[in-house]
Structure 1
Amino acid sequence: MKNKLAISMFGQKRLSREGGIEIVVKELCTRMVRDGCAVTCYNRSGHHVSGAEYDQKTEYEGIRQKYVPTIEKKGLAAVSSSAFAALYSAFGKYDVVHIHAEGPAFFSWLPKLFGKKVVVTVHGIDWQREKWKSGFGSKFIRQGEKNAVKYADEIIVLSKGVQDYFEDTYGRKTHFIPNGVNRPEIRQAKLITEKFGLTKDSYILFLGRLVPEKGIRYLVEVFKKIDTDKKLVIAGGSSDTDSFMQELKTMSKDDNRIIFTGFVQGEMLDELYSNAYIYTLPSDLEGMPLSLLEAMSYGNCCLVSDIPECVEVVEDKAMIFKKSDVKDLREKLQDACDHPEKVLELKKQASDFICAKYNWDKVVEETMKLYGRK
């Protein structure tokens, strides 16, 4: 470990905020370079998931970014870019190849064949997601999971539930290393007031990819029946789910309190987190919800479903409802609107709690230990 460790990473789209994987890779890589590693990220070619206007080919200091050939078709972008990334990683001068997500792990055998140390991070059981429940994508991801078990030297998981799943299903030991979070700068409402008419504590925030498993259908259905003057802000872009996004907008069209912002980043994102009355994540399925960590780091009261991946994060520092239980979600949401003192109490505890519990430097330290393991 005294010599410069050469690391290849792939599985992310690019170093952006398109999803949790992209955020994780950026946070890991910037710190690994800081700590003296030589890091190469193999990114997809093509456009940002929310459109060309969000393309950012930012060179993060010290990180080599290479863009691999990518077939720009639904279901093929991840497969094609991962295949090329695995090929370049196999032939490149790397000590460690770190693969993110089950789909890209399909190709873990390739760098392994060429004597590389292979580490796979499983961000969630991806074949359970609605868009991958059938067809080629489902088979590919399931085989990726099996290939990770067979070929990876080390597997990292982000929740205890997924760790149990690998132990029970494959008898495979994994390493539980959850994500981290940075303590942010709280921003006053300016851009969000100008663009959406939002002020501090005037809205309930959902922020994430607009995909069915996030429980946004329930949220819209429930919010329409809530007695409140607060708005519901749904912030995020499609992820090969344009028809679902259209369905949500159709559901919401008769309630002018519901606002769709589209994909957000930068100051707009900071302001949305900084000024929300509560943040809600009603998911049926998660890996390790980074947006939840971020929301708490901004001092938000959070309302989450009782799936283990959310409950492990928030412990007793948030409001919790029964997964997919519309009646329970409605009661909890109405209660939050009716009792600002409860919301304020949870807000006071959130930031210090989450920033102490989840730390990126610790994540990098634990990950580097696995890189050095013989």
Structure 2
Amino acid sequence: MKPNQKIKIIVTGTRGIPDILGGVETHCEELYPRLVQEGYDITVIRRSCYITDNIRIDNYKGIHLKDIFAPRKKSLEAIIHTFLAILYAKKVNADILHIHAIGPSLLTPFARILGLKVVITHHGPDYDRQKWGNLAKWILRNGEKMGAIYANEVIVISNVINHILQEKYKRNNAHLIFNGVTSPRKSVTTEYIAQLGLAPQKYILAMGRFVEEKGFDLLINAFSRLNQTEYKLVIAGDADHPSAYSENLKLLARENNIVLTGFIKGKKLNEILSNAALFVLPSFHEGLPISLLEAMSYDLDILVSNIPANLLPELKQDDYFQTGSVHDLAKKLQKKIENITFNRKHDLTSYNWDNIAKQVSGVYQQILKTK
């Protein structure tokens, strides 16, 4: 049901949209145009340090875009930007402030003190990520706690996260609303993959940021053990903050003849997904990975780590390998290569973005009814 009037929603916690690397960013890019169609007045607050000339715009598919300062420093950018975004939300008399991710959620009590109604979306326990030091992990754990305790409404994107909030904070009324995926129109072109030296259905694809918890070094080491001549390994993505790990990963890739595409979106990503044979996600940590849902939407065969977030009911036992094990990943890769299921159909009805938008709208309507 559409709201009777334009309800003003301010969104923070994301780097921004469109075409900015990250799972939360993809989530927002899909969700908020649909909520505009539901009749909401949506403003996404973007971090200034990620805004390049090609996306220096103030509107995207009906969403207002507001760029606010953020330092390009991973330990400071989220918290400083969120503080400024909350002040902006108060200034414009937002009906609802929607905060994404647990780091920015640390400031939930501040927003509530200012009189704002707050929804948070918990995208995953980021304190499990290897890239964070002890202080950052402490902040993230407290961000999760502040969001769970003080937000008016909480959205979680997986059962795993829901159980965390129930066990740790007795938050038993969170709304389970999955990440989504759009049914794609597959590319019929091969020019881009040809430029990369690839042939259709003759490469294995992984996608994501070049950070330790994605496990891409593990994947390269496992793949190199196979002495594979028929299939190539392609990793699409890059680091949002260059680090020793990301630079070493690129060096490891070059040494093992792995194809790196850099950060790609749009037609290039469509073409590379449309022509892949197998998708691999070796992560140590996820919330509910959009990249996995995207690969499934392209009818790809799947091999993923057996972390709880990847245990989707739509997948089978032989789609998994033991998290962190180079030996098991190499063994399962070899088995998949010998038995790839091309054009494999996956049931993705639980991950429909139109339904997800209606569920989020329901959360907004619930919070507005609460005094």
- Equivalent position of 1:188 in the other structure: 188
Structure 1 residues 158 and 313, CA, compared in 2 at 3 Å: closer, same or farther? farther
- Equivalent position of 2:123 in the other structure: 123
Structure 1 residues 260 and 7, CA, compared in 2 at 3 Å: closer, same or farther? same
1:35 aligns with 2:19: no
- Equivalent position of 1:138 in the other structure: 137
Runs of 4+ in structure 1 off by over 3 angstroms are: 52-58
1:208 aligns with 2:204: no
- The 5 A counterparts of 1:1-374 are 1-15=3-17, 16-47=19-50, 52=52, 55=55, 57=57, 59-135=59-135, 137-173=136-172, 174-229=174-229, 230-256=231-257, 258-312=258-312, 314-316=314-316, 319-340=319-340, 343-344=341-342, 347-350=343-346, 353-354=347-348, 356-373=349-366, 374=370
Does the 8 A contact of 1:29 with 1:63 survive in 2?
Answer: yes
Deviation larger for 146-155 or 53-62 = 53-62
Does the 8 A contact of 1:159 with 1:176 survive in 2?
Answer: yes
Give the CA RMSD over aligned residues: 1.8
Helix, strand or coil for the counterpart of 1:39?
strand
- What TM-score, normalized to structure 2? 0.92
- What TM-score, normalized to structure 1? 0.92
State the number of aligned residues: 362
Does the 8 A contact of 1:279 with 1:300 survive in 2?
Answer: yes
Distance 1:73 1:320 in 2: 35
Give the counterpart letter for 1:372 in structure 2: Q
Give the counterpart letter for 2:324 in structure 1: S
Does the 8 A contact of 1:205 with 1:232 survive in 2?
Answer: yes
Helix, strand or coil for the counterpart of 1:108?
helix
Distance 1:299 1:242 in 2: 34
Does the 8 A contact of 1:158 with 1:177 survive in 2?
Answer: yes
Cα shift readout 1:162-215 (whole Å, capped 9, x = no counterpart): 111111111112221111111111113423234201121111000111111111
Mark the runs of 5 or more structure 1 residues left unpaired by the alignment. none
Distance 1:317 1:191 in 2: 35
Percent of paired sites with the same residue: 34
Distance 1:253 1:366 in 2: 45
Mark the runs of 5 or more structure 2 residues left unpaired by the alignment. none
Does the 8 A contact of 1:317 with 1:349 survive in 2?
Answer: no
Deviation larger for 210-219 or 57-66 = 57-66
Distance 2:328 2:245 in 1: 24
Distance 1:271 1:56 in 2: 26
Distance 1:302 1:251 in 2: 24
Give the counterpart letter for 2:357 in structure 1: V
Structure 1 residues 56 and 207, CA, compared in 2 at 3 Å: closer, same or farther? farther
Helix, strand or coil for the counterpart of 2:333?
helix
Using the TM superposition, give the Cα deviation of residue 115 of structure 1 relative to its aligned residue in structure 2, in angstroms. Answer: 2.5
